[in-house]
Structure 1
Amino acid sequence: MKLLSFIVLIFSCITAFSQQKTALHYKIYNTTSRKMVTADDVVNDMAGADVLFFGEEHTDSVAHSLELMIFTKLLNRYPAKVALSMEMFETDCQPVLNEYLRGLIRESNLIKDARAWPNYADYRPLVEQAKIYGTSIIAANAPSRYINMVTRLGLGSLNQLDAVGKAWLPPLPIDTATGKYYEKFAAVMGGHASMDGMQLYQSQNLWDAAMAWSIAQYLKSHAGYKIFQVNGGFHSEEKLGAVTQLKKYDPQVRILNIASVSGTDITNPDWEKYVNLGDYVILTYE
């Protein structure tokens, strides 16, 4: 116990130093009040919620530091009742991730066998913090081979998988979100979302559904837990995508979402751009 306490202390010092480096490089706003708030305010707000989505820009180093800050505050505010869920790991890599968190395998094995992202260094502090605190990490994303398969062959191709393959996926068939989410996706794609028989959009929905299903299944067996979900912003902005899918799997789930955006209007936000993105918006700059 003394060793664990010492490790937690050292990691806390590292976290504090990281926070000092980013202290002048972000502001958090409550989009309802349009007033600046603190990370502690967000964490306290989780008393009435089950899942906190953090929608990031994958290359934003300030956002990565804030993820660690918020995750650490959640661990301290709700001890032994927090789990980390990550887009950055795929469901079939869950056993590898579990083995690493238990100290059974080396980090090099984790990086190789769990197919860690090229910028794993950005997410490593989250993983190490979870390991120190003995908390779970949910490998939430669908295996990339199945995302690619749907992009090429459509959602119907998933029915050809055997029971082992299907076990890594949400229940079939995967629902495709229509309306606003489709329109937003089409806009990002430059109006080409209908290409290849909608298969690209279908793979996006599989991506969202897998993360949502992974969270829903964890909550089902871990009542009272707080889930901190980290993903690319598009998956959770405006409470569309993975958030909408999660509400389908668990209609009673209580969700807060953060949209983290890098920009230049950090002190005078253009609310027309930001007000609908999330319950909270974090504006960052390098």
Structure 2
Amino acid sequence: MIKSSDDNSLIRPQTLYEARLIGSISGTELSVETLSQRLADTDVVIIGEYHGHQAAHLLQSQIQAALYRQQPLQILSMEQFTLDKQAAVDAYLSGETGETEMMEDSNAWDNYRGSYRPLMEFARQQSLPVIAANAPAAIVRCVGRTGPGYLDRLATHDRASLPDHPFMDTPAYREKFEATINSSHGAADDAMRERLDNTYKAQLLRDNTMASRILASHSAHPSHQIVHITGTFHSEEHLGTVAMLRQRAPDLSIAVISPVIWPEGAEMPPLDENRNKGDFLYVIQPLPEEFLDKDRERKAMSARFHRPTEDTCQGDSP
């Protein structure tokens, strides 16, 4: 049974904006302020999200501000911007461009204004650095399409921007990735297995790049706390980016905050099977089903991941 701080059972979030923070081991509900006090001396705080979930984005903004009150030396690190767009992010933070210009120049995600604007604006208002942490989208796409050897064809400058050992791995992460993919695709033939392996290498490139960018920021600003925003697959169970950080910097203190869905109709959220997802959890409502018609879903997914006819992955750079 999850208990709140006043020893009452946890109350189900009433709206899609609400989240209930709990300690993953204690099962006790926490306020954002209490969480920030506990994490005041942590080097890197990683807040996982389900992309586009209102409760996740609101909580991230609340935690960012609460941590700042404890430790005003703060850096915001974001999966949602790629390292080749760092100059566009910096130009906006320094007042050289407007928001729409920044969004165009940085290829900001479509949900930037509704989901990430509060994080960026807090950093801008407080004159805090923002790290565009992800690997360049074109390079990730080409690794996923043609394999890890694509990096050998990159221009020297492009390759130098990526981490050494860009496909560093852990067995548990590979197992999780394959289980997730297999649940969607079923048994695979040799050609499919090769494509899935390339997709996994692209995933590793993202994780290793984000870990490398976080560590570079920590080295440049060792007194600052880094708040990293990322999709939960990159951080939950301390896998992905978190595992890469720990392999590269074992002495770094890291805290992971992960979402847990409270299913409709359930009396309590599924805590027992989710305790290992993070050092702290936040319980949220499920998002609405995107599709009930499976044929429409397949067509939509096909359109979403349709490859352009031109092949842009054969040259020396993306």
TM-score by length of 1: 0.87
Task: Give yes or no for contact 1:56–1:261 (8 Å, CA) kept in 2.
Answer: no
The equivalent of 2:27 in structure 1 is 34
What SS class does the counterpart of residue 257 from structure 2 fall into? strand
Q: 1:24 to 1:85 in 2, by over 3 A?
A: closer
The equivalent of 2:300 in structure 1 is none
State the AA in 2 paired with 1:279. Answer: D
CA distance in 2, matches of 1:194, 1:247: 29
CA distance in 2, matches of 1:24, 1:86: 21
Select the structure that is richer in helix: 1
Give 5+ residue unaligned stretches, structure 2. Answer: 1-13, 288-318
RMSD, aligned α-carbons: 2.0
Q: How many residues align?
A: 264
Aligned pairs for 1:15-164 (under 5 A) are: 25-79=18-72, 81-121=73-113, 122-164=115-157
What SS class does the counterpart of residue 124 from structure 2 fall into? helix
**150-159 vs 187-196, greater mean Cα deviation:** 187-196
The equivalent of 1:165 in structure 2 is 158
- Deviations 1:21-65, CA, capped at 9 Å, x for gaps: 979822111011111112122211223310011110002101101
CA distance in 2, matches of 1:198, 1:48: 38
Q: 1:22 to 1:133 in 2, by over 3 A?
A: farther
**210-219 vs 185-194, greater mean Cα deviation:** 185-194
Give 5+ residue unaligned stretches, structure 1. Answer: 1-20
Do structure 1's residue 270 and structure 2's residue 267 form an aligned pair? no
CA distance in 1, matches of 2:272, 2:99: 44
Q: 1:31 to 1:166 in 2, by over 3 A?
A: same
Q: 1:263 to 1:59 in 2, by over 3 A?
A: farther
Structure 1 residue runs of 4 or more that deviate by more than 4 Å after TM superposition: 21-24
CA distance in 2, matches of 1:236, 1:138: 17
State the AA in 1 paired with 2:90. Answer: N
The equivalent of 1:221 in structure 2 is 220
CA distance in 2, matches of 1:100, 1:22: 33
Task: Give yes or no for contact 1:56–1:231 (8 Å, CA) kept in 2.
Answer: yes
Identity %, equivalent residues: 32
Q: 1:183 aligns with which of 157, 160, 175?
A: 175
State the AA in 2 paired with 1:258. Answer: I
Task: Give yes or no for contact 2:261–2:269 (8 Å, CA) kept in 1.
Answer: no
CA distance in 2, matches of 1:140, 1:92: 9
Deviation at 1:263, TM superposition (A): 2.6
